[in-house]
Structure 1
Amino acid sequence: MSKPLRVVIADDENLARMLIKEYLRPHTDLEIIAECETGTAAVNIIETERPDLLFLDIQMPELTGLEVLEVTGRLNGVIFTTAYDQYALKAFDLHAIDYLLKPISQKRFNEALEKAKKLLSMNALEDANNIRKIIARNTDKNQQLQIRDRGQIYTVPISSIDYIKAEDDYVLIHAAGQVRMKTQTLSDMEEQLNCTTFVRIHRSYLLNLKALKCIERQGKDSMVATLLNGEKLPVSRSGYERLKLCLV
């Protein structure tokens, strides 16, 4: 017999959590391991417990559901719950991700649950890509990043970022004289940020054009980007071509 799927319920409404628990009762292949009322608590539980399935309210205190996904890098096994009406939901573009509109019926709940189980068994790449797109739209809308670094959650305005550097399986975000670490690939970060403002100048560097002072040749075949703060970053040949397209 396979192990039950481990479930976390994140919703600031006690009645909503109680209803989800009641709807989950007949499903013996699921185990509720935790529930929480705030976005910050959801981040802590997700990172410590690594649940298989997450029922996540969009609007919660401290961090929204979308910000919880951004901070944790959670890209699958998510069912959104929300009290927003259909019109308001268009702002989140959730058509590709399953969500439960409150008040939730048992029939609709079971449909969403079966879909989530199927996607989990498939490890669906499409599901992860859809969540990436939703996070990117939310980032573009709010013009800020949510970063958990050394146990603290920081809000970093995108306008304050000078550049982002890849470092193993995480990135270092250089902003306003400070460096924040985020567990995310540089490619995912590039997709999340506005491509007209940030340019991949090197396999390890993503540059905010607003921080650029000039491009200089250094040696016969190498270029460097000099920033307004005096820092110099390497520029690859392909990165130089991308820069030229953006600076015309």
Structure 2
Amino acid sequence: MIRCLAVDDEAYASEILAGYIRKTPGLELVSTTTNPFDAIQLVQSGEVDLVFLDIQMPELNGIQFLKICGRSCKVILTTAYEQYALEGFEHDVVDYLMKPIPYDRFYRSIMKAKQLFEGDTPKLKNEPEHANGTAFATDYIFLKGDSKNKFIKVDLKDIIYIEGLKNYISVYTSTQRLITYQSLRDFEAQLPPTEFIRVHKSYIIPFGKISTVDGNSLFINNQLIPIGDAFKEAFFKAIKERRS
């Protein structure tokens, strides 16, 4: 059970998040508060695992909160201002939610958080879908660039596959190859498990880009990708579930 805290200087905003938390399996609402100093006390007392944190607050803003408590809990930022996204990711936040926050986007953040807490790819019941029946079909992530303050925005729908190579990974998109210095495991935690799956110790692929599966291999755009023995059972189970 992930213990959650919603912090927002506007009470109605934290109550929306509280409602989402209450109806999502695996989450426990510890409290909501409009006071970031009360939130700091709760986090430092060890009562909270995950904080939904507004950035624009009087007296103490979300970035300042991260500098104080960022190592004591995991944080999902919530804001109406996109310009703080890069600074938030510098503090290793789980995700960055733009207001107004729809439940499906909230849910995807929870999946990321659960992966970080549990080290796997759990699937919650009643998984939300868009109107066209495809869960979380479009979104984006930021890749760490080759300097401290450089981040590259990548649309998930453009990713063809991801390859891990020692201390860095290559992200192949429909137009380019991007290199970022992080582990494949850490990168996997940023991806929605409804759309992506790890099929080998060195490869993550999007379900939607698979053209053929043949024994211990699959093909994406004529690129052969091996299916590792350790990942085979989970992969074929996922394929069967998507057929049903």
Q: TM-score, normalised by structure 1?
A: 0.48
Higher helix share: 1
Larger radius of gyration: 1
